[in-house]
Amino acid sequence: MSAGKRAVFLRGMRDGIPIGLGYLAVAFTLGIYARNVGLTWVQATISSLLTHASAGQYAGFSMIGRQAAFTEVVVMTVVINARYLLMSTALSQRLGEHTGFLQRLGLGYCVTDEIFGISLAYGAPLDPIYTYGAFSVASPSWALGTLLGVLLGNVLPEAVVKALSVGLYGMFIAIIIPPTRKNRVLAGVILLSMALSFALSRLLPGLAEGTRTIVLTVAIAAGAALLFPVKEEAHA
């Protein structure tokens, strides 16, 4: 690696440190949840090494705990993580024209919400080495946090484990609240989603929770996109 590329990689590692610290804390609660649904530390840690999506992993662990069908787990995680396709596509537009195919694949694999954000801030053309640097810090932190959550979940008092398990739900609330305060449409869509999910759970109690979530996610997202399209000027 040339001196210039090394400098870019180190810059990515530096910018990835705050992300890694945040991942460590959030993944700890994810590890506790993985332990609660019966996953071993090996299974949970490998999952975090290969899957870099808190919401997708939480949904997958939840469905595994309920012994859902394999196809249902796959479809569920694909739907929840579909946003990464859009993020990867957006980043691909910022790459130099000589960026190779394998580098593009690697970049797509490294994309998370936070890494997407700092990669956009890097500017254009985006050097994939920068994203790789950030990922090299963030990904191990996510896996380590999961591992610690599983292991310490077997040691800590039950009351403490239950208290820490709430942290994952707190993360989801923290993700939802800020954007809804700025966007009434988004707030309405979220409230509608909650109401319809509750209604379906009562009207169709035999419908699997994973299937219900998949149907509602696709239907509500499609409806919101048709009724409230984002104007092109908003991205300018």
Domain spans in the chain, listed from the N-terminal domain onward: 3-166, 183-236
CA angle, corner 162, sides to 157 and 166, nearest 5?
Answer: 145
- Cβ atoms of 137 and 20 closer than 8 Å: yes
Other Cβ atoms closer than 10 A to 39: 21
Lowest mean pLDDT among 81-90, 121-130, 132-141, 168-177: 168-177
By C-alpha distance, which of 152, 197, 209 is closest to 27?
A: 152
| pTM for the full predicted model | 0.71
Q: What is residue 45's predicted lDDT score, i.e. its pLDDT?
A: 93
Q: Say if residue 162's pLDDT is above 70.
A: no
Q: State the Cα–Cα distance between residues 214 and 204, nearest whole angstrom.
A: 15
Three-state DSSP class for 81?
coil
Q: How confident is the model at residue 131 (pLDDT cuts 50, 70, 90)?
A: very high
Distances, alpha carbon 94 to alpha carbons 91, 136, 196, in Å:
5, 21, 39
Residues in the chain: 236
Only one residue has tokens 């530096």, namely: 14
Sequence-ordered strand ranges (E) for the chain = none
**Mean pLDDT to the nearest integer, 68-84:** 82
CA dihedral 183, 30, 116, 216 (to 10 degrees): -50
- What secondary structure does DSSP assign to 209-223, as a single string? HHHHHHHHHHHHHHH
Q: How confident is the model at residue 233 (pLDDT cuts 50, 70, 90)?
A: very low
**Eight-state DSSP code of residue 165:** H
Q: Say if residue 235's pLDDT is above 70.
A: no
Q: Say if residue 42's pLDDT is above 90.
A: yes
